[in-house]
Amino acid sequence: MKGIQPSVHDKSEPLYPRWSLSAHGSNWCVMVTLDGCATLKKLVYVYLVRYAEEQQDLALLSISTFQRALKDPNQLIRASALRVLSSIRVPIIVPIMMLAIKEAATDLSPYVRKTAAHAIQKLYSLDPDQKEHLIEVIEKLLKDKSTLVAGSVVMAFEEVCPDRIDLIHKNYRKLCNLLVDVEEWGQVVIIHMLTRYARTQFVSPWREDAVFDENSEKAFYDSEEERRVDQSKPYIMDPDHRLLLRNTKPLLQSRNTAVVMAVSQLYWHLAPKHELSIITKSLVRLLRSHREVQYIVLQNIATMSIQRKGMFEPFMKSFYVRSTDATHIKTLKLEILTNLANEASISTILREFQTYVKSQDKAFAAATIQAIGCCATNISEVTDTCLNGLVLLLSNRDETVVAESVVVIKKLLQTQPSQHSDIIKHMAKLFDNITVPMARASILWLMGEYCEHVPKIAPDVLRKMAKTFTDEEDIVKLQIVNLAAKLYLTNSKQTKLLTQYILNLGKYDQNYDIRDRTRFIRQLIVPNEKSGALSKYARRILMAPKPAPVLQSAFKDRDRFQLGTLSHTLNSQASGYLELSDWPAVAPDQSVRNVEVVEPVRLPYLRLVLNCFCVHVESVSESESKENSDDSNKSSSSQSEKSSSESDSEKKKKTLKNKKLQQQKPDSKDRIRSTCLRIMQHNYSLNYYLPPQIIQKTLNIMTKYILIHIVLSISTPFFVNCMCSLLHLCVFLACQFDAVSWPVHVSLQASSPVFVPETSHELLHRMTGKGLSAQYRFTRQPCIYGNSMVSLQLTLSNSTDQALENIHISEKSSTGQNIHRFNAIERLEPQASVTVSMGVDFNDSTQAANFQLCTKEDEFSVSIQPAVGELLLPITMSEADFTKEQGKLVGMNESSVTYMFLNCSFILFKVVARHEAGMPMKHQLTSQSIFLCISRFAGKTVSSGSLVLVSVALKDPDAVITINTEKTVMGSMLLRQVKTALTNSGP
């Protein structure tokens, strides 16, 4: 660093940075003055994010630079500056970070707002006292309609205030509708949050008497009182509950494993039991992924399979063990196969287990023997078969298999020992060949527990054990002592001396557990003067019947944790785990989720302002005219007093003269109207989206007497233009005076679509609709029901022999998108058709609009799936405006693809003629664009009015398709459809 010399900065080359050295203690830091070098700025910010926490004193020197960068025109620079600023872990700059986050939360760029949401978590971990201020920012960001922000702000909500469910009420439906378009990791966070939310706001759909149809028949003979007592209120799923399940179902096809797991756990914890089967295929599909993914998925399936065997029984072969599987994967598959075993499939599973026992993986073979024991315990029909198979395994050469078989046999024999004395004798004969301590201890326990069934073999086994007592393991010694005590109580004549010998050996053993056990047994079974009353009950204590062990899965109790969480994987509560609450007995008020939809009024603000302005001026001029009339009356009265002798003829001449003068001088109201009309005509093309409060404040500013006098006194074209600028200034001041910063968006003039398809899409088939069929078509015209709605035309046909009555759309359909319903059709004659219009606000999303098409007797669920192009309206703009707006929408707002064409001269025809991609856009083609082979299309989204710019640049033999829009998801989808449309079109 010492060799670096400051270079002379040449202002004529702004792309090169100016370097300078500054000393700070013993360290040298390079201070970079970045004049226009945005790329290098980003690299420096990335470096500082990595080392800001380690070199805090050096990072503090650059805070002023970060604050300036927060105002940079480039959204990436603003976001990078906020990211670096929030990475400096110094409490002294907390106020600066808070101000930066609040400003970034209202930034026009969704990427900057997303970064602000991430910064909230960093600030909260640095200073938890800022929680209340951060909650205010989170509440504001939760109202954001951008899909880029949704996942990040919910993540901040989960970190800062996960208990503030009230913040989610108004945004619940919006989050459900945006869920499909949110980025993948944001979907995971939102789904987990909505799972906890739903468990607190909806009643349980798992009731035994749950009815999912509102039309439940009542018993004919039951009285009203009996029905009130015997029948509870039938369950009807909340529409918002159904909205969540319906909108998350498509995500089961996601390529992200975490998203699929999140949806699966949501259905497991929220969906009715009969709907759980839809997640089975998606979970089985994940078993083809990496072993880390398999491990988590299999753990969750193992938990599910305990309660719901029927879900995975058709896919049992998917859980067969492969030779390439890791040991922990094999063990989990064994658990699932054991859980799925029943009377019908046990024979197939046992044949599979016979192959697994021969595996070279000893741990897996031992786990298989445990699985066989579980199957024998759970299914009584195969208990004897499993026992015989396990006895055959006692002759296996592998000690691990033999030892595990002995342990499992011991557990199985406890269920019915009297019927299996031959097995105990066989195990006693193999005792000398078994060396595993646990297996030897199990055999000795069986001998002692059931010594009365083998009275001749048990004393002989004790004799052999007395010889090798000192060489046995501790666990075996304890069982030898127990065997000796039990035989002393049941057959003291043959085993009395052996028992005393073994107790003497145990008295001086090195292990204190064995010494304590020996002393206790001696005082219990050998009565003497020191023995108390306990020795009388020695037989009842040692020979008491023991309950048979219950062999159950290790995943039996894991359902107490939410599926897919770290706590479920570890089977213990991890730090930060939020438990799912129980279902409420009574559903909370669902009106808290209702949101008043305020449609943005699109109107030429100049016309409104000037019309109101003219009314105000008219009232003022009328008051002035009244004052003038009063003055004239006063003057006339005074003159009459002074010159009472004036003749009537002279008065008539004066009045006629005054009338002529008034006819020659234009009225002030007419002058105001003509001036206002010229101003309106000059600026008629400008239309603004203004909230009502801004319009009111603009009127208050406009209705000043100084403006009235300017209009009255001067009406030249120059001052008309000045007045127009002054009106713009009034609107700007009104926006600045308002508490909320309302952006004023210029809306370009819409044009008619170049191509409107005549083809219709099927909405309801006549077989499904019981004779009623429906076709829908996108008209690609501005909707008369709302500026944010897509116009649709429905054709309803009656193919039955009877008339259909009261055809309408159910009111329950308004839970999802905002739908303007057509007026109910009272009667549709047989073989007749009728065409109606409706409007749907898709919220700039390709998510299907679901609603209920009803008749008098039936109700049918239908959905309308829009193409991307149907969510756009064509607009007309100049080439200069197109280039200017395209320059603003760069970076993350730009998507492009290069496509190779064999015949470049043919591509121009394709671009002009192909509209099958669903792009009702106005094609702008100039003479210059023909020479450059550049075609431009301009449109805007119907709901939010965001610009969508498409350009096709031809470079033989390639074509570059570029789409610029703030709606990044819509842009990428449109790009794929345009490429597909151009590819499928032939010459």
Q: Which two tokens stand for residue 728?
A: 């713009």
Tell me, yes or no, whether 509 and 431 share the same domain: yes
How does pLDDT run across 814-824, given as a tens digit for each residue?
Answer: 456 788 888 88
Beta-carbon contacts of residue 314 (< 8 Å; ≥ 6 apart): 280
Tell me, yes or no, whether 848 and 894 share the same domain: no
Instruction: Tell me which of 201, 228, 255 is where a domain ends.
Output: 201
Q: Which two tokens stand for residue 78?
A: 């603003």
Tell me, yes or no, whether 50 and 180 share the same domain: yes
The dihedral built from the CA positions of residue 174, 176, 181 and 184, taken in this order, carries a sign that is positive
- Residue 787 in any domain: the answer is yes
Cα separation values, 248 from 178, 254, 277, 973, Å: 10, 10, 15, 20
- Residue 907 in any domain: the answer is yes
- Residue 576 in any domain: the answer is no
Helices then strands, counting H and E runs in the chain, come out as 40, 20
Beta-carbon contacts of residue 264 (< 8 Å; ≥ 6 apart): 252, 279, 282, 283, 300, 563, 564
- Residue 183 in any domain: the answer is yes
**DSSP of 942-953:** TTT--EEEEEEE
Closest to 803 in 3D by CA, of 770, 829, 824, 825:
829
Q: Which two tokens stand for residue 716?
A: 């030249």
DSSP 750: B
Q: What angle do CA 826, 827, 833 make, to 5 degrees?
A: 120
Task: Return phi, psi of residue 314, to 5°.
Answer: -65, -15
Tell me, yes or no, whether 371 and 500 share the same domain: no
Q: What is the CA radius of gyration of the chain?
A: 42
Q: Residues for the chain: how many in total?
A: 987
Cα separation values, 798 from 579, 631, 834, 860, Å: 53, 77, 9, 15
Tell me, yes or no, whether 844 and 952 share the same domain: no
Task: Give me the CATH number covering residue 885.
Answer: 3.30.310.10
Amino acid 663 reads Q
Q: Which two tokens stand for residue 81?
A: 């500056």
Amino acid 594 reads N
- Residue 635 in any domain: the answer is no
Q: Which two tokens stand for residue 133?
A: 């201020």
Task: Give me the CATH number covering residue 57.
Answer: 1.25.10.10
Task: Return phi, psi of residue 962, to 5°.
Answer: -125, 135
Task: Give me the CATH number covering residue 778.
Answer: 2.60.40.1150
Q: What angle do CA 813, 819, 822 make, to 5 degrees?
A: 95
Beta-carbon contacts of residue 292 (< 8 Å; ≥ 6 apart): none
- Residue 168 in any domain: the answer is yes
- The pLDDT, as a whole number, for residue 620 is 40
Tell me, yes or no, whether 916 and 843 share the same domain: no
Closest to 975 in 3D by CA, of 959, 961, 960, 955:
961
- The pLDDT, as a whole number, for residue 573 is 87
Instruction: Tell me which of 840, 866, 892 is where a domain ends.
Output: 866
Given a contact cutoff of 8 angstroms between Cβ atoms, the answer to whether 493 and 507 are in contact is: no
Given a contact cutoff of 8 angstroms between Cβ atoms, the answer to whether 22 and 29 are in contact is: yes
Query: What is the separation of C-alpha 768 from the centre of its chain, rounded to a whole number of angstroms?
Result: 33
Cα separation values, 546 from 379, 413, 445, 525, 540, Å: 21, 12, 12, 20, 12
Q: How far apart are CA 866 and CA 790, in angstroms?
A: 9
Place of tokens 């930034």: 107
Amino acid 334 reads L
Q: Where are the beta strands (DSSP E) in 743-858?
A: 746-747, 761-764, 772-782, 790-798, 804-809, 818-820, 825-828, 833-841, 849-854
- The pLDDT, as a whole number, for residue 895 is 81
Tell me, yes or no, whether 513 and 371 share the same domain: no
Strands 790-798 and 833-841 turn out to be: antiparallel
Tell me, yes or no, whether 884 and 941 share the same domain: yes
Q: Which two tokens stand for residue 715?
A: 């009406």
Q: Which two tokens stand for residue 19?
A: 């370097």
**Considering the entire predicted model, what is its pTM?**
0.58
Task: Return phi, psi of residue 965, to 5°.
Answer: -165, 150
Name the residue range of residue 913's domain.
Answer: 872-984
User: Is 69 exposed, middle or buried (CB count within 10 Å of its CB: 0-12, 13-18, 19+)?
Assistant: buried
Tell me, yes or no, whether 138 and 103 share the same domain: yes
Q: How far apart are CA 353 and CA 370, in angstroms?
A: 10
Query: What is the separation of C-alpha 146 from the centre of its chain, rounded to a whole number of angstroms?
Result: 13
DSSP 848: -
Closest to 465 in 3D by CA, of 493, 440, 433:
440
Q: Which two tokens stand for residue 750?
A: 């819409």
Amino acid 802 reads Q
- The pLDDT, as a whole number, for residue 684 is 34
Task: Return phi, psi of residue 776, to 5°.
Answer: -125, 155
Q: What angle do CA 8, 10, 15 make, to 5 degrees?
A: 115
Instruction: Tell me which of 416, 445, 477 is where a domain ends.
Output: 416
Tell me, yes or no, whether 820 and 960 share the same domain: no
Tell me, yes or no, whether 407 and 510 share the same domain: no
Cα separation values, 188 from 17, 267, 300, 396, 890, Å: 42, 14, 16, 49, 28
Q: Which two tokens stand for residue 199?
A: 């468990």
- The pLDDT, as a whole number, for residue 607 is 44
- The pLDDT, as a whole number, for residue 134 is 94
- Residue 858 in any domain: the answer is yes
Amino acid 435 reads T
- The pLDDT, as a whole number, for residue 12 is 34
Q: How far apart are CA 89 and CA 103, in angstroms?
A: 20
Q: Where are the beta strands (DSSP E) in 468-623?
A: 602-603
Tell me, yes or no, whether 72 and 197 share the same domain: yes
Task: Return phi, psi of residue 825, to 5°.
Answer: -90, 110
- Residue 660 in any domain: the answer is no
Amino acid 311 reads M
Given a contact cutoff of 8 angstroms between Cβ atoms, the answer to whether 354 and 569 are in contact is: no
Place of tokens 């619940």: 172
Q: Which two tokens stand for residue 345?
A: 């499939």
Total domains present in the chain: 5
Q: How far apart are CA 155 and CA 177, in angstroms?
A: 18
Q: Which two tokens stand for residue 135?
A: 């909650």
CB-side exposure of 324: number of CA atoms within 13 Å? 3
DSSP 875: B
Give the chain's residues under pLDDT 70.
1-42, 52-53, 58-59, 207-233, 416-420, 529-533, 548-550, 596-752, 754-755, 812-816, 899-933, 955-957, 982-987
Q: How far apart are CA 858 and CA 807, in angstroms?
A: 10
Strand partners, 873: 940
Task: Return phi, psi of residue 13, to 5°.
Answer: -125, 80
| Helix/strand/coil (H/E/C) assignment for every residue in 671-707 | HHHHHHHHHHHHCCCCEEECCHHHHHHHHHHHCCHHH
Q: What angle do CA 260, 266, 267 make, to 5 degrees?
A: 90
The dihedral built from the CA positions of residue 245, 867, 853 and 859, taken in this order, carries a sign that is negative
